[in-house]
Amino acid sequence: MAEVGNPTPEAGMNPVPADSTGVTPPDSASLATDSVVAEPPVVEENHPEETPKSDILALVTIKAGDRLASFAKQYYGHKFFWVYIYQYNQDIISDPNNIPIGTELRIPDPGLYGIDATDRSSIDKAAALQSQILGKFSK
């Protein structure tokens, strides 16, 4: 028989540990190595080559004697491409033949309209559009 102050389990019974959850607490050494350390957020730097391309190639201010065709020649390599400058700025330009001095225009990126001065079909397309636009403003 067992002593009264220290009971022993009877046959077929397993002793129940003092912590009945069955979870063994980790030792302090494993806490330091197993814990997740929050790292500072990664800050990505802006690189010009990765920045989304703007739809605007340039901004120009109309001066006396300026023509859309001269801007088209300067920026796109052919004067017929003025039609795309006009289309892109229709909210500002009411008449492509009469743009007030001091008006600021946006020169659109050539990729928006498929502008290619080395491609005859691109020039022909602009020429056809030119006839259509000028037909609206002929007197």
Q: Is the pTM of this model over 0.85?
A: no
Dist. CA 108–CA 54, nearest whole Å:
9
Domains in the chain with CATH codes: 53-137 (3.10.350)
Taking a C-beta distance cutoff of 8 angstroms, is the pair 99, 93 a contact? yes
Kindly list the averaged pLDDT for each block of 10 residues, start to end, along the chain of length 139: 53 54 54 52 54 82 96 98 98 95 97 96 97 88
Question: How many other C-beta atoms can be found within 10 angstroms of the C-beta atom of residue 53?
Answer: 8
- Identity of the residue numbered 118: T
